Chains A and B, each alone.
Chain A
Amino acid sequence: MRWLKLATAGIAALALWGGSASAQVSQQALTVAEVQQIIAQAVGESQARSVAATIAVVDRVGNVLAVFQMTNAAGTLQVTSGRGIARTNGLEKVEDTFTNLGAGGSPTRKLGAIAKAITGAYLSSSGNAFTTRTANQIIQEHFNPGESFSPSGPLFGVQFSQLPCSDLSVRQATNGVPTGLVDATAGPKRSPLGLSADPGGLPLYKSGVVVGGVGIEINGTYTIDPQVTDVDSDVEEIVALAGQSGFAPPVDIRANRIFVEGKSLRYTDVDVNALRRNPANAQTFAAINGTAGNLVAVNGYAAAAVVAGTAYGNAESGFAQDPDGNYSNVGGVVFVLFNGNNPPTNRFPPRNSVNPTVANGGMTSSEVRQIIRSALNIAFASRAQIRRPLSSHVQVTISVVDGAGNILGMARTFDGPIFGTDVSLQKARTAAFFSSNTAGTYLGTFNSSVGGTPTNQNANGVTIGDYVTAVRRVLGNNALQDGTAFADRSGGNLSRPFLPDGIIGAQNGPFSYPIATWSPFNTGLQLDVVFDNLAAHILYTDVGGANNDTGASCTAFTADGGTQLTRIANGFQIFPGSVPIYRNGTVVGGVGVSGDGIDQDDMVSFLGLHNAGLILGTGVGNAEPSKRADQLVAPGGHLRYVSCPFKPFLGSRQNNVCDGK
């Protein structure tokens, strides 16, 4: 019977690969009629359940195609983990923070719906269909949530990516602040609340290709599910399933067939059997529009209209095949990011380092290109952890930044999930930042005026510089100023509510909060430095008018990272997948990878850089082992630097491939 299985897998693989590059990246998009159908299906199920839903549909690159709000669905959205954490702790009950600040405003349900739809679209690909319930499972303090003592979720912190202040994200409209790139169809678009872990966000597929996501907000609570071993009946998820009908992913790539550390991931807790109304019998959109509810506009995201999606792979989507040959012959088809200009051009072709300059040891464009090429080579040769069919290769995005976080180049395998675009950049910047010998000083430059007068505290009253004290208490007084190389895995070790990670009763990591106040909406340094940006954006989306949108550069640190950019202009990321780049013992940048298992992300960055260093012979490469953060001892033992995966490569039995490098 085994031969039959192999043959089936082979046929499936062939079908996916097709005969040519274009077949690998079949371009699919939602039409206006299809977006309307999705909305009408969701409305039908909501009516059958007598609930009032806010429905958002987005395309794969995050363009909001429509937001439909049923009668009586409008209202505020309370952000809460349900852990009983008081206001002014991160985003927990953030509307109270606004009241405290004297600002009228609150997150709206429209934002919740958009964030969920973007999450469904961004986490998924032709090899994996993930939902907001999947996200919920992999961002909590234990994996699985509820499994005490188990280390945190592999994507711990990913909820604070695709931030509205990201310099990378493309915006739908301008609002008088530095906006970065503005374009109607190019992605990746930002998400108002980052990625969502609240069930009710699903991906949409056509012919096995992700074409977007649908997000449903009904109960006005934007939350997480701390208990994943039960089976929920979540009305938002049920309505989302109705909306998704006809655009569901193939069964074989759904999260519940994808295993990480032997644990299968959650897709949904209900299936279509839970629907009370057959979506095929839903009314037409024309019949419900204006009666059951209305299309609504959302500041910064959408007009009150339905628009068609843009096909991923078409340069208009902001993602298409590398046109310049920078990444030819690396083992597969490579995509790069495009701007919305005509003709479209690669937004981030390899370029020389800005800070430090090339004269001062910064990377040249050819070094950047080689690092990305070597990383792509590893990715195409490696066993994916989160994709089916089995024996698929890794699909990721790779970002290279200089010492101040300027983007020097970005590229991705053709089907990497979109979320990894922003996240790979966050990771690259985080590694470069914490490895800098000015990291401690720089954290002290925080200066925000969202709360009124400029202050070194954020609007929740957190003094950012206190994190430096906290980390030095654990690692000694040289921390963040001695140039120790911090991979994102190392910094991540310090960013968990338990140190060592997952161990009940242990103290919190110095970049995190004690478990009594920690939540996925209050992660510590990561959120605290972007909280004011999120607050400004929420007020802008809710109230608009005088409330300017947040600028396209996260955090309120000194903008020494290039034109009007801070060093961490799309926020910190605190889960693994990046290493700093060194030359002659000094950090000159970082390489970040995101989109597959975290061990895979680690390996693609670490080995990619290692191999590039061997090829280049210019002194660029990984930090010397003696300079790495895994020399440091914290409660529990040595910090980790990278963890390369078991059985890393397809068609090879090699293991421990990062040992000794």
Chain B
Amino acid sequence: MANRLAYGVVALAVTAMFAVPPAQAGKERIRSAVVAEKPVLVQQRIPQRDRRRDAVDPVPPADLSRVGPPQPNLPSEFIPIPDRWRLIENLGVNERWWDPYNQNTLKADRPLPGTEDYFINLLVLSDTVVEPRRLPTPISPNSSQKPSSNDVFGEGEQLFYLQNLVVSLSFLQGDTAYRPPDIEFRLTPVFNFTRAEVGERGVLRRDPSEGKVRNDVYVGIQEAFFDYHIRNVSRRFDFDSFRIGIQPFSSDFRGFLFQDNQLGFRLFGNRDNNLFQYNLGYFRRLEKDTNSGLNDFGEEIRKDEFFIANLYLQDLPRLGFVSQFTILHNRNDEDSEFFFNKNNFIERPASFGDERLHKYNVTYLGYNGDGRVGRAQLTTSFYYAFGTDSHSQLNGNLVDDDADIRAFFFAAEPSFDFDWLRVRGSFLYASGDSDPFDGKEEGFSAVFENPQFAGGDTSFWIRQGIPLIGGGGVQLTQRNGVLAELRSSKEHGQSNFNNPGIVLLGLGTDFDVTPETRISTNFNHLRFEDTSNLEVLRNQGEIEEEIGWDISAAVIWRPLFIQNIVLRLSGAMLIPGPGFKDLFATSQDGDDEILYSILANGTLTF
């Protein structure tokens, strides 16, 4: 259960060029470091090396402060002068190692001394989270924190702290102005500290003797890859590249199916002046550290792999809209041994149904779209999942115990900008399983979701993991997840297609109150798609579908107008509806305490 509290540092760091919306990818190089699921943009403009030799008329400078290009055929062309970086020093622009806003060798603005096209790029990022919250919390069955603990639901107040220090070091070779580097090595260790305080024993660690506070320190490697620029295929620098190692990857625009930093090999590139982009990838998942969510090298690599092929098409079906077609095949072979997490809770198989080991093959066919439609911005996602689960944990069959997976997912988020105000609507539908005993698994489950949707981690439901108390050692919903997947955890658990599905309808607003202050609000209504599985798991009839209202607001403040210092304070609460009360009412009169989640977050970036 404690892993439910584990903080997922997810999708850390530098978004791969084509894992971000290509609308950005094709333009200036933007390094987006995503820590704590929240993007921090670090812009660095890499100086252009001007080798143009053809004599053309000088273009009138658009920027009057710019140093104009040398005139053709002037004697200075033939006189050795310092390179452009030293040249600029003559103009009084000197490097200060701590200043990322001006030319800085540590930020790959200048080549390494003595070289022309070898660069290093250093990123240091501190991420601090303080998170008070109230969640349904079970009283440990074997020993309690307090006397007179006579029931199942205990003290729900919790406090969570996190400190991450991300250090990312890249070594690049190549002309980095117009095209990806020729070669890049990158290593990103993350130093993590977490502290969790809860109201009951046996929640953070299985052993109630360990009490109700847990401190943990971990160092994980979130990036370690080699990137090689194979070739250019056109004058416009359309290219083919490959990248091998632990790398960030997102299956779609919003992280619905997979968004993580995982071990893989990826061939990618573009064609036709960047109108087409493609990815061909193979990933084999690393085990995660339970409490930090970082990659764990102390464990064997998981027997879980996926192949992905996708194609981005710009301006389809209309100008300004990008369509992406995906096929992802996930093969899980984790049917040979039990796996317990660091806190001694079982993860694989999940403590769910008959708890027998099983494996699955599932293929996701997806369409994703992102872009502009008239005045509106629109993101859409559709997935159809099909495959086979080697053993249904619910249907109880002894012969023909395998199950067909048939599930689908749809999400759309249109938004409209009115000056400094953005209004967005969110709709999400994940199918639920309608009959736990029929040998079909119809609940949609992702590989590793990290949804940036409907308010993302500002929203209570997406931010918090809620244990399915009384229904097994699984989570009703995962931390940083929108699906009600009923899996043991996102970090360690297998996908689970026996789940109630989810339907979300939301309305959100972003107010850019001042250039450095944004206020966001989200109103999401949630319901299960089908509660049959929940009813069986808890041996409880008549669980209603309505989960309730998830209401949240966030203030984001960038005191210096820059992305290097970002402070955020958000608050969310879940006003439970009948279905949620059927599961978690914590009072004698059948009502619920309001569940809340407060998030104070500061990121400092160099």
Contacts and interface: CB of A to CB of B under 8 A. Distances in A.
Interface in A1-44: 1-2, 5, 9
A150 B538 contact: no
Nearest 5 pairs of A and B residues by beta carbon:
A262-B472, A653-B590, A391-B541, A256-B396, A390-B541
A635 B201 CA distance: 12
A659 interface: yes
Contacts of A599: 152
B396 A254 contact: yes
B539 A267 contact: no
B587 A656 contact: yes
Nearest to A489: B141
Interface on chain B toward A: helix, strand, loop, or mixed SS? loop
A501 interface: yes
Interface stretch (B220-228, B268-276, B353-361): B353-361
A636 B355 contact: no
A542 B32 CA distance: 80
Given A258-B539, A506-B207, A643-B151, 8 more contacts: A147-B338, A261-B471, A262-B471, A390-B539, A647-B585, A653-B581, A655-B586, A655-B590
A655 B586 CA distance: 6
25 contacts: A149-B206, A149-B345, A150-B346, A254-B396, A256-B354, A262-B352, A262-B468, A263-B351, A268-B398, A385-B539, A390-B540, A500-B142, A500-B202, A500-B208, A625-B147, A636-B142, A637-B143, A638-B145, A640-B149, A644-B152, A646-B152, A646-B540, A654-B585, A655-B584, A655-B590
A630, A642, A656 — most chain B CB neighbours (10 Å): A656
Nearest to A631: B147
A475 to B, nearest CB: 13
Given A259-B536, A262-B474, A644-B150, A501 B588 contact: no
A526 B404 CA distance: 47
Nearest to B145: A637
Contacts of A659: 148, 150-151, 588
Given A259-B539, A640-B142, A657 B585 contact: no
A96 interface: no
A262 B1 CA distance: 14
A638 B207 contact: no
Contacts of A147: 338, 346, 351, 355
Given A270-B398, A638-B144, A654-B588, A229 B152 contact: no
Contact of A658 (B147, B150, B354, B586): B150
Contacts of B469: 646
A658 B151 contact: yes
Interface in A190-230: 228-230
A640 B143 contact: yes
A422 B344 CA distance: 36
A259 B538 contact: yes
B151 A149 contact: no
A144 B472 CA distance: 11
B352 A263 contact: yes
A606 interface: yes
B537 A259 contact: yes
B540 A647 contact: yes
A258 B436 CA distance: 12
A103 to B, nearest CB: 40
A30 to B, nearest CB: 26
Contacts of B586: 655-656
A477 to B, nearest CB: 20
A268 B398 CA distance: 9
Nearest to B393: A264
B150 A641 contact: yes
A342 interface: no
B396 A264 contact: yes
B156 to A, nearest CB: 11
A450 B254 CA distance: 75
Interface in A94-109: none
Interface of A: 1-2, 5, 9, 144, 146-151, 228-231, 254, 256-264, 266-271, 273, 383-391, 493, 500-504, 506, 599, 606, 625, 628, 630-631, 634-647, 652-661
B93 to A, nearest CB: 61
| Most chain B C-beta atoms within 10 Å of own C-beta, residue among A151, A259, A501, A636 | A259
Interface residues of B, number: 70
A147 B473 CA distance: 11
Given A149-B345, A646-B538, A657 B151 contact: yes
B330 to A, nearest CB: 23
Contacts of A229: 338, 349, 354-357
Contacts of B530: 2
B297 to A, nearest CB: 24
Contact of B470 (A150, A262, A635): A262
B71 interface: no
B537 A642 contact: no
B582 interface: yes
A256 B344 CA distance: 26
B103 interface: no
A487 to B, nearest CB: 10
Contact of B399 (A261, A273, A631, A660): A273
A237 B139 CA distance: 38
Contacts of B355: 144, 147, 228-229, 263
A578 to B, nearest CB: 14
Contacts of A149: 206-207, 340, 344-346
Contact of B141 (A501, A653, A654): A501
A383 B540 contact: yes
Nearest to B399: A273
A656 B539 contact: no
A493 B208 CA distance: 13
Contacts of B345: 149
Contacts of B150: 606, 641-644, 656, 658-659, 661
B437 interface: yes
B209 interface: yes
Contact of A646 (B143, B470, B532, B591): B470
A129 to B, nearest CB: 12
Given A640-B144, A655-B151, A656-B153, A261 B532 contact: no
Contacts of B405: none
Contacts of B583: 647
A415 B587 CA distance: 31
A153 to B, nearest CB: 12
Given A150-B346, A257-B536, A263 B147 contact: no
Contacts of B585: 647, 653-655
A655 B142 CA distance: 20
A506 B587 CA distance: 34
A389 B583 CA distance: 19
Contacts of B140: 500, 637
Nearest to A607: B150
A644 B351 contact: no
Interface string B445-484: 0000000000000000000000011111110000000000
B539 A657 contact: no
A148 B340 contact: yes
Nearest to B543: A647
A146 B338 contact: yes
Interface in B523-565: 530, 532, 535-542
A149 B345 CA distance: 7
A273 B401 CA distance: 13
A382 to B, nearest CB: 12
Contact of B207 (A269, A270, A503, A643): A503
B589 interface: yes
A256 B351 CA distance: 15
B543 to A, nearest CB: 9
Contacts of A387: 539
Interface in B127-144: 139-144
Given A264-B396, A643-B139, A656 B209 contact: no
A391 B536 CA distance: 11
Given A261-B472, A493-B142, A630 B153 contact: no
